[in-house]
Amino acid sequence: MPQYFGNPLDSNLVDQIALGAMADWDLASPVKDGDFSSLIVPGASLDELMGAAPDAPSSRATLIDADAGIAAVGAMRDGSQTRLLLTTWVPYTRTDAAEVQKIVFESLKAERHRRGFQGGLGEVGMEDAVAAASNRLQGGEDPMPVLESLLQQTVDVMQRNFKGWSVITTEPDHIAWPEELLTPRMTYVSVAAGTRLQKGSPWATTAVLIVAFVDKGIVADEADVATAVVLPAR
């Protein structure tokens, strides 16, 4: 804290301290977002501190974030003032692969329906291969080789034309869908998913693999892979 408050004009140092605080590696559960603010207030009582914190826009935003479920507070006395560092994190709750797969599938169906496609969206039926792919993702493997393997297995078994996409997201129900998935040509899909922690830290993302039946235009023995990356909102 002395380094943070003692160097207010060193923006690089201040930014590094703030990022370091949000990148806390000792959290007990995975997180997808974090916020940080600092505050200097008169007095030292809890009532004085909590009364002053909401008056500052940055600390107010940190404290009233409805999604934040984990918080840390650092305090340092400086004469008649108290200096505070506030950090909050948003827990990553969607870690169950089957739940994420259902969310993604229903979200895709809803978007296709919104686009005016009244026909249903079916599931390919490669349950064992999808479960194996999800386990590999959950274990931290790179999504692209897993997608290529799932896609080739699907083509080999079904002897039909399929195409695959890899999506990295923290919001599986708000994916920016590739336009090709929103056309009548795509009528059956498989969805694999796995939540992955960054090595040595609590920050999590979900890798989603989508394999879709294509009714024409792709040779059945070729693995056609596309990648769509959706970054965290903040």
Question: pLDDT, tens digit, for every residue of 184-200?
Answer: 778 888 999 988 776 66
CATH entry 1.20.1300 includes domain 97-229: no
Three-class SS state of 39: strand
What is the C-alpha to C-alpha distance for residues 94 and 103, in angstroms, rounded to an integer? 10
CATH entry 2.40.390 includes domain 2-91: no
Q: When comparing pLDDT for 162 and 47, which is higher?
A: 162
What local confidence, expressed as pLDDT, does residue 220 receive?
A: 39
pLDDT in tens, 73-122: 777 777 777 777 778 888 777 667 888 889 999 999 888 888 887 667 78
Q: For the chain, which residues make up each domain, given as ranges?
A: 2-91, 97-229
Strand ranges in the chain using DSSP code E only, listed in sequence order? 31-42, 70-78, 81-91, 122-123, 162-169, 186-197, 204-214, 224-229
Query: How far does Cα 29 stand from its chain's mean position?
Result: 14
Q: Are 122 and 158 in contact (CB under 8 A)?
A: no
Q: When comparing pLDDT for 211 and 90, which is higher?
A: 211
In whole angstroms, how far apart are CA 139 and each of 4, 143, 194, 204?
Answer: 37, 11, 8, 13
What local confidence, expressed as pLDDT, does residue 228 receive?
A: 38
pLDDT in tens, 42-79: 765 656 666 666 666 566 666 667 777 777 777 777 77
Three-class SS state of 46: helix
Q: Do domains 2-91 and 97-229 have the same CATH topology?
A: no
pLDDT at 218 over 60: no
Quote the radius of gyration of the chain (alpha carbons, Å): 23
pTM: 0.67
Q: At what angle do helices 127-138 and 143-158 cross, to 10 degrees?
A: 170
